[in-house]
Amino acid sequence: MRMLVSLLVVLTLSGCDRGDVVGLADGSEVPFEHWEGRWLIINYWAEWCAPCRKEIPELNLLHSERAATGAVVLGVNYDGLTGDTLKDLVVKMGIEFPVLVEDPRMRWAVEQPAVLPSTLIVTPEGELSEVLVGPQHYEDLIKAIGAGPGI
């Protein structure tokens, strides 16, 4: 039984190659490894979620101030929108950080969020640090990534 469980884990994780390419809402593709070595703030949002809309300016600020120094915000549309529908919605909602077409949560064996907004905090080593539930402010996000002046 233990061998079967181990085999299932290996098979499941083999599909989660960290070197894979992910699509972005703008139509481009980026190797996921592009973000390795950085703090990742992966935010789940939806158009119908009022707290999500309120949180977007906080995430935009964090991304604009910290992306060059070691922290990047990535968005995931909760409803799984793709193509022009997603691209148009990103513009409509004023999202200034990259929005992923594919949901990366299985890399860390995280269940789909039950509450929006939800945010995964991933360390530069690629480990899930915590899951934040509910709207966050810039200061909360900075604390979650342990950011000092250089980050």
**Cβ pair 35, 68 in contact under 8 A:** no
Tell me, yes or no, whether 2 lies in a domain: no
- What percentage of residues in the chain have a pLDDT greater than 70? 84
Mean of all residue pLDDT scores within the chain: 86
Tell me, yes or no, whether 8 lies in a domain: no
From CA 129, how far away is CA 80, in angstroms rounded?
24
Only one residue has tokens 């481009």, namely 28
pLDDT the model gives residue 147 = 65
Tell me, yes or no, whether 11 lies in a domain: no
Amino acid at 33: E
Cα dihedral 7, 12, 21, 129, rounded to 10, equals: -110
Only one residue has tokens 């968005």, namely 75
pLDDT of 90 > 70? The answer is yes
Tell me, yes or no, whether 9 lies in a domain: no
Tell me, yes or no, whether 1 lies in a domain: no
Write the pLDDT tens digit of every residue in 48-76.
999 999 999 999 999 999 988 889 999 99
- At residue 21's C-alpha, the angle toward residues 94 and 100, to 5°, is 20
Residue 31 lies in domain: 18-144
Amino acid at 27: G
Can you give the length of the chain in residues?
Answer: 151
**Structure confidence at residue 16 as a pLDDT band (50, 70, 90):** very low
pLDDT of 150 > 50? The answer is no
**Cβ pair 86, 101 in contact under 8 A:** yes
Tell me, yes or no, whether 56 lies in a domain: yes
From CA 136, how far away is CA 54, in angstroms rounded?
9
Tell me, yes or no, whether 5 lies in a domain: no
**Which among 134, 109, 136, 108 is positioned nearest to 122, based on CA atoms?**
108
Write the pLDDT tens digit of every residue in 19-30.
588 999 999 999
**Count of domains in the chain?**
1
CA-atom Rg of the chain in angstroms: 16
**Cβ pair 104, 21 in contact under 8 A:** no
CATH number, domain at 33? 3.40.30.10
Tell me, yes or no, whether 3 lies in a domain: no
